[in-house]
Chain A
């Protein structure tokens, strides 16, 4: 008998029947306990769907929490480093949260659905932490992860396809805005958000609507070369666009066991998300102290010579190792070899020239490459259509 080392079976998302049908290469992965495709047919073609037509990504495994009640805003202001009071109704923002030591627990998006009504969409399971944060606040926290199915619909023709689906006027929706529609008589929420750095939307429906949504979306998008995309293509897009990924670019503090392995938002280049004018938030005192003392690490985006991805590379300054790479890819649209690295302060300033020690293998033959690289100021991929309102619709 064959036994599985895993204790529980992987779950399937509400789109699974459709996803499986469109995944001829059958290349699956485990994303947060769900069976999800790493690729549907070809990573590069999927990636190019995101950048030149429309790519559809099943993001149902994301954790979704409803946070509501009279203290919901105060609760989030204490938990998040950002000032959530500035977030309007039907608006979304990217946010991070820390523990008392100022170490990153996770990042995610906050949807303001009402004055006292929010949704937090996180990469990690956060039930425990959200409950602890609720001590002393009049809020209700519901895990609605399984009550909502989500698709990311991303790419230059995404607005067009969704408009055909019935999202009339969607082109008027500003980045980080939320619009409400009906789909087959049930509510359908669309936010202009995503993880690709492109024009794109995320569509949220009840699981019962999932299959019909998928079918009709692909029907509407057929002429616009809509394609499903898997985890690998999305990863390529997010690296090109400059997005961090929990577990890859930082270890969530609740999971790190070795001293010194956690990172603060300041060390990850996310100071713009930290509002020190707020009187209290988790990690405030520690981050103030870090600011005064100076951070241990600096987040650097590297443009590396050549075309060999600098995966897991050491970064050197002269002969000295000053950092390591967390994410790396040859990015097709910007035609650059990019990497994110954690560089020991004081190295890693924009313009610094460092060396990436890259190892790659061809037919069991390893080659070591010392590739010069430059610290760049933000992502190279930043198309106009990402920000334009009205969104380009054909």
Chain B
């Protein structure tokens, strides 16, 4: 049997990227995953005969171009579509198009049109700054209290060439919420809502929740990482996973699918291997987990193998999620009042106002499903006909918000919610219902079951400031190392967090190599 320098738990995009970088550095690497397909949440599935959907993640918008280049992902089969603009659907059919700095339609006024590029510019300044923290490990805190956290942020962020005005704005904005920031800048309801959507996507927060400026910036720095902006992956998101697997293998890593890690094994103070589902033990110098932190520490290692303070942090780590997905197989291209075919292939969002987002959020606080939802829609088969039988289409939509577990359980609610979602869509796309060949609603526990992340959480744990940067996932286990020697984190639960970005995986590889633990 090969002696591995590192065993990586999970062949999601981060696990594969980490594995590829470690293997490129000459390390013996094994990447293992319980699923049959590589890519984790970057996956494609057949919804109905001949209809293929991106089962979990659907948009690529912040995947680091450097990684694409370093790992030769294009040669390994990755093809992405054209850059998409965002079309914010309005109930009167006069939709708002957001394309780079350009705003069109929906009676957008000159004032907002002028304000928007300035706003983007400032956000880009902030995002660039944040990126400096994102491309490596986040600086550590000396003392774990709020004053130090803020001081550190002031220092870390402020240091760089922002100018006093911007710096003051950042300090002020980061701790407020996207609702107030939007109102400070714009008037148009639809514009404010479409932008605020980026802040709440994948979180358990509403637009008025603190932290939402931070999450907005997290997404906004996508522009700095991935020049193209929002795109779809040709062949479905699973193609990203496949290309990463090929690249990792080409770099010399071994990727083993269909084999869950059951346990992380410790010998003395150090982690020394993993036990696989087939009962075999794989010894290794380091275990690098891209499974979420709760799974890694509570399930695979076990609380009883952690010191109490650490166990307590794991138990308190927040993994609430409010994001669900709607998948439709359609007999034809839906008709959306006011949109031509090209517009239909863009990113379509239904978020009438920030109030409507906030109202959509309220019910999940009480484990209720609500009646009005926010949609982030893709009809990928327009640009990529291979995804559906000839002339037919698939539609996928990120839905905000649905609770992890509604009162009475999902069995009691699933069909009603699905019908209601379709009804809400029908209002914008008359005749849609009649086109439906197959439909499904996936809710947070479904993602938890299929992909393993606790709570079905987009980021493998809420991306709030107290769980971000040098505190991600928690103090004492940040910077990719953990409180347990020999155990590292490289998934979305590590800095800088979730979405298809690749930075946790690549940063972790760099950090592990720098530490020389595999030598």
Contacts and interface: CB of A to CB of B under 8 A. Distances in A.
A137 B310 contact: no
B307 A132 contact: no
B427 interface: no
A133 B308 contact: yes
Contacts of B483: 100, 285
A280 B307 contact: yes
Given A100-B476, A259-B143, A285 B307 contact: yes
A53 interface: no
A281 B305 CA distance: 9
A135 B309 contact: no
Nearest to A137: B304
A100 B474 CA distance: 14
A282 B304 contact: no
B406 interface: no
Given A100-B476, A285-B269, A129 B305 contact: no
Nearest to A71: B304
Given A100-B476, A284-B269, A136 B309 contact: no
B385 interface: no
Interface string B472-504: 000010000001010000000000000000000
B452 to A, nearest CB: 20
B143 A78 contact: no
Interface string B284-316: 000000000000001000111111111110010
A74 interface: yes
A230 to B, nearest CB: 36
A136 B311 contact: yes
A136 B302 CA distance: 7
Interface residues of A, number: 22
B311 A132 contact: yes
A101 B303 CA distance: 17
Contacts of B409: none
B269 A100 contact: no
A267 B143 CA distance: 21
User: Chain B interface mostly helix, strand, loop or mixed?
Assistant: helix
A283 interface: yes
B438 to A, nearest CB: 43
B107 interface: no
B312 A132 contact: yes
A99 B475 CA distance: 14
Contacts of A84: none
Contact of A100 (B143, B268, B307, B315): B307
Contacts of A281: 307
A285 B476 CA distance: 12
Contact of B308 (A74, A282, A285): A282
Given A284-B269, A285-B269, A100 B303 contact: no
B268 A279 contact: yes
Contacts of B268: 279
A279 B309 CA distance: 17
A304 interface: no
B266 to A, nearest CB: 8
Contacts of A315: none
B319 to A, nearest CB: 16
Report which residue of A132, A284, A288 has the largest number of chain B beta carbons within 10 angstroms of its beta carbon.
Answer: A132
A136 to B, nearest CB: 3
A137 B308 CA distance: 11
A79 interface: yes
B269 A99 contact: no
Contacts of B310: 100
Interface in A262-294: 279-285, 288
Given A100-B483, A279-B268, A280-B305, A135 B143 contact: no
A99 B309 contact: yes
A100 B308 contact: yes
B293 to A, nearest CB: 15
A273 to B, nearest CB: 17
Given A135-B315, A259-B143, A285-B269, A79 B304 contact: no
A129 B308 CA distance: 8
A282 B312 contact: no
A101 B307 CA distance: 10
Interface string B305-334: 111111110010000000000000000000
In the A-B complex, the 7 residue pairs with the smallest Cβ-Cβ separation, listed nearest first, are A136-B303, A100-B309, A136-B304, A135-B303, A100-B307, A135-B311, A132-B312
Given A135-B303, A282-B309, 8 more contacts: A74-B304, A100-B476, A132-B311, A132-B312, A135-B315, A280-B307, A282-B308, A284-B269
23 contacts: A78-B304, A78-B308, A79-B308, A99-B308, A99-B309, A100-B308, A100-B483, A101-B309, A129-B308, A132-B311, A132-B315, A133-B311, A135-B303, A135-B311, A135-B315, A136-B298, A136-B304, A136-B311, A279-B266, A279-B268, A280-B269, A280-B307, A283-B307
